[in-house]
Amino acid sequence: MDQGRGANVKSCEFVQACVDLAGCPKPTLPEIAVIGRSNVGKSSLVNMLTNRKSLAKTSKNPGKTQTINHYRMTTGDGKFYLVDLPGYGYANAPEDLREKWAAFTREYLIKRESLITVLLLIDSTVKPQRLDLECLDWLGEAGVPVTVVFTKVDKRKKVGAGKRANPAENVEEFCREVSEYWDELPPMLYTSSVNGEGKREVLNHIATLRQFFKKPLKEEVLAAVAPAAAASPIVADARAADVADDEPEDDWN
């Protein structure tokens, strides 16, 4: 597969939104899911990757994404689905709604047979967050392939009088914490939706992973791994969200 061609996005089309696995499109294309804590810049990253400024709506109101949204991406060497999942860590949504988001997100991550990786977005302008570390740990324990994508690497957000966050230091600290319980760190990429940094690297990474897309798994195989979802931190998030470092920005999703 020619990575250069795979990174050339020719078109992107919104296919549908659904609230459970049964409502997803038929698993005929490889799928790349995007997930992250509220205010991580998820919608902005989706727009950057798809060459569309408003395909995924950005808002100052958190919790904007409430469904599983499929986008059909056509590149120079084929097609795949980019899947926008609801963000986690939004405490102001009603508890029953957060539990509903958690349930169908967990079901998708565990049982979607055409899912080839999850892009877990991490805000590089804040210190490592408990929910992010727990989500990464859960994905690993559940056997869900994951790639860590750091966002906002261009920013130095004000964190105190005369002090600004250093994304490089936060990334380094995140890697140190992850290395304590991962034998080998997952793939990591660095992006900015403001200046486009990392766009080609993410698309090239997706092009490489698409080489390993296989036919859907048999139902008995999926059933065998389903119990691993029982302790999902995404579900725990529905009861106790970690929003201490969140600040209103223009890329809530």
Per DSSP, 155 falls in state: -
Domain parsing of the chain, residue ranges: 3-237
Residue 202 has pLDDT above 80, yes or no: yes
Confidence of residue 161 (pLDDT cuts 50, 70, 90): low
Assign domain 3-237 to its CATH superfamily: P-loop containing nucleotide triphosphate hydrolases (3.40.50.300)
Backbone angles phi, psi at 208, to 5 degrees: -65, -45
Rounding to the nearest 10 degrees, give the CA dihedral for residues 8, 13, 14, 15: -110
> What percentage of the chain carries pLDDT values higher than 70?
69
Q: What is the pLDDT of residues 135-145, one digit of tens each?
A: 999 999 999 99
pLDDT confidence band for 238 (50 / 70 / 90): very low
Radius of gyration of the chain (CA): 17
Place of tokens 């994508």: 149
